[in-house]
Amino acid sequence: MRSNGNMESKANITAHQDKFWFVDRELETRRASHRLRTLVPIVPISPREVEISGKRMISFASNDYLGLSKHPLLKERAIEYTIRYGTGATASRLVCGNYDCMESLEKRLAELSYKEKALILPSGFQTNVSLLPALADKDSLIISDELNHASIVLGCRLARCSLEIFPHNDYDALQKIISKRRDQFSRIIVVTESVFSMDGDRADIDRLVEISKNFSAIVVVDEAHAVGVLGTNGMGLSVGSGVDIIMGTFSKALGASGAYVACSEKLASYLINCCAGFIYSTAMPPPVIGAIDAALDLVLTSEEVRRELLKKADYVRASLKALGFNTGFSSTHIVPVIVGHEKEALDLSQHLRNKDIFTLAFRPPTVPPGTSRIRISLSASHSWEDIEKLVEALSSWTRL
């Protein structure tokens, strides 16, 4: 470890010529507080199974909520699009032109989102970090839920405007902030997730829209964890509501990667001109567009699959609550098991791994201090037997 204070750090740089002193310090701090992130090598076996160190395990770690990432139809269409269009998009669409497969995917997404237009982007992270700065100027105020994803948090910071954080899903607090600050800003943008990634609870979209409408605030909703699973045709909780910009990803239930925004025609033209993540990045690769097209075919006929998935989630929650676990306010296919201390979350994750179940421990800064957890991510590909095995494994854990 190099140093604790700035003065000492400066002295160290000259003394040892170690320009990376901060790396040692950061890694050591994380290690000491049980917050060090490391990569776990896995071999994917099936949508519900992975192999770790030669051992086959049931995975409750992936966001492959419908088990589509290895579906034959997605693979076939990805190959079809590769043969027809090639492996890469070769440049930004504003530079090398617009492929017909991009336009037709966007048309489909707009229709499914009940919006005039949709735009696809190469990743959800990229979308959030560039969408919010595109919407805001220095005289704007962004109001963001305190549990929003890191990409939204970063997008808010990059917007370089005023920022207010409202307590998680507390719409009275949101209303107070808007009514107090409305007149001080040229633009107000309210941003939330619809299904929160670490908690599996839901935003109240109707309430959000109602409050925002009264103050002419722009509403942006990140549907990353709802798309494929919840809402009309499984296309998210904002479909058919008054949300101005629906952001969704293809990287989770749709088994591919990338993201889209669905909005008015005028806003889409604005984003084509002002959203850096769209303008200055090579477009989504054609094989991925093929896979997404196939995933949408399957999502539209998966109503029963979705119902069954949510039934499994209800069962997991009820079983865990009966065992005395804290599953927060989850009401979806994401079920946190909140244990508190980092060490306990790591211990629970290891305990499950010893029982051939793969989950990860989520610790600060990904979740607030004191709420470390394992995150159970349920998939339609999990059998009832898998679920029973999970519950049984959790029931045999003894707290540190």
Ligand X SMILES: Cc1ncc(COP(=O)(O)O)c(C=O)c1O
Catalytic residues: 63, 149, 193, 197, 222, 225, 252
Is residue 68 within the footprint of ligand X (CB under 6 A)? no
Is residue 362 within the footprint of ligand X (CB under 6 A)? no
* Sign of the four-CA dihedral 59, 60, 65, 66: positive
**Which residue has the CB atom at the shortest distance from ligand X?**
124
Nearest CA to 247 among 132, 372, 374, 361? 132
Is residue 336 within the footprint of ligand X (CB under 6 A)? no
By the 8 A CB rule, do 250 and 232 touch? no
Is residue 238 within the footprint of ligand X (CB under 6 A)? no
Contact residue for ligand X among 197, 241, 359, 377 (CB under 6 A): 197
Is residue 260 within the footprint of ligand X (CB under 6 A)? no
Pattern 114-133, binding to ligand X, x per CB under 6 A? ---------xxx--x-----
Pattern 284-323, binding to ligand X, x per CB under 6 A? ----------------------------------------
Binding residue count for ligand X, defined by CB under 6 A = 14
- Cα separations in angstroms, 375 against 44, 175, 193, 276: 19, 31, 17, 33
By the 8 A CB rule, do 205 and 242 touch? no
Is residue 249 within the footprint of ligand X (CB under 6 A)? yes
By the 8 A CB rule, do 222 and 193 touch? yes
Footprint of ligand X on 131-150 (CB under 6 A): 149
Residue 137 neighbours by CB distance under 10 Å: 13
Please name the helix (run of DSSP H) or strand (run of DSSP E) that holds residue 100, with its range, or none: helix 100-112
Beta carbon of residue 302, minimum distance to ligand X (angstroms, whole number): 20
- Cα separations in angstroms, 367 against 101, 148, 294, 325, 352: 38, 10, 34, 18, 20
Q: Write down the residue that tokens 């009275």 correspond to.
A: 172
Which one, 256 or 294, has the nearer CB to ligand X? 256
Judged by the rule CB under 6 A, the positions of this chain that interact with ligand X are 123-125, 128, 149, 151, 193, 197, 222, 224-225, 249, 251, 259
